[in-house]
Amino acid sequence: MLSTLALAASLFFGSTADAGVYVSVGLPGIAVAVNPWSPYWAPAYRSGWVWVAGHYDAWGDWVPGHWRPTASRAGYDWVSGYWVGSRYYDGYWRPTYRVGYSWVAPYWSHGAWVDGYWHDGHGRRYYEARENQRERWEDARERREDRREARDDRRERKEDARERREDRAEAREDRQERHEDRADTRDDRHDRSDDRRERGERADRSDSTDSADRTRTDKGEAAERKSSGERRETADRGSSRKSGERQKVDTSVKRSAGAALTGSSAPKGERKSRK
């Protein structure tokens, strides 16, 4: 089921070549071939076996997909099968150990499959050369990984240095902003003190103006009272003189009238004598 899903996904998202399926149209029909070297291709279910998908081994060699039995045998190791074109050859069991011999695993050489074998030391030179070659490949892979890690480390150090520069720049900006805030605070305090001083000066000027106005008002009122008193005294003196004169006039009038009355009532002889 999973192999079918993988094949369907590779056909949907990729091409038929990626899926390991090749279709050719011709007469009298359509021919379909499979490519077992594709990592997406998997055959149908096989009872008692499990399908191992294609992969790279520890030495960087591509191992195509193959069958492996689900059961195991004590004292034996399974040698995987191999492909020739689109035909698969099953693997086999081999003894785990053989006294005086060592096992040389099967491999591909120039497009040909070389089956595994036991050797008793006569093929040591070839075996050692292959092992040395695999070691060199492994060393080259490790060196590539080391270079990649070194590049990553340099990139990370550059990133860290840039972040530190940005942090320092932000710290400088923060300090500058704090200085500006303190300067603004000082300016505000100075402005408030100037405002208080101006308000005090205006209050002092207002108080002095009010006191001067009050003084002028008091002086004006005093002068007005004085002038009104003098006018009253003058008026009183004038009225007293007028009343005295009126009294004198009245007295003289009364006297004249009395004299007139007295003369008219006396006898003629007496009036004549008086004359």
Domain boundaries, the chain: 1-42
Handedness of CA 155, 160, 165, 166 (dihedral sign): positive
Identify the residue with better confidence: 239 or 184: 184
Gap between the Cα atoms of 209 and 108, Å rounded: 117
CA distance 206 to 210: 6
pLDDT band at 179 (very low <50, low <70, confident <90, very high): very high
Q: Averaged over 225-254, what is the pLDDT?
A: 73
238: left (phi over 0), alpha (psi -120 to 50) or beta: alpha
Report the half-sphere exposure of 167 (CA within 13 A, side-chain side). 6
pLDDT at 265: 53
Contact 70, 49 (CB under 8 A): yes
Which residue type occupies 142? E
Residue 12 has what pLDDT?
A: 45
Find out whether 117 and 130 touch, Cβ atoms under 8 Å: no
Q: What is the mean pLDDT of the chain?
A: 76
Nearest Cα residue to 42 out of 61, 20, 75: 20
Task: Report the run of H or E that residue 95 belongs to, with start and end.
Answer: strand 92-95
Residue 113 vs residues 21, 105, 173, 174, 197: alpha-carbon distances, Å: 23, 11, 70, 71, 105
Instruction: Give the helix ranges, DSSP H, for the chain.
Output: 2-13, 16-19, 124-265, 268-274
Closest by Cα among 66, 73, 71, 61 to 91: 66
Of 27-41, 61-75, 150-164, the one with minimum mean pLDDT is 27-41
List Cβ neighbours of 94 (8 Å cut-off, separation of 6 or more). 76, 77, 78, 79, 103, 116
pLDDT over 70, % of the chain: 73
The highest-confidence range among 78-87, 171-180, 236-245, by mean pLDDT, is 171-180
- The per-residue pLDDT for 34 is 59
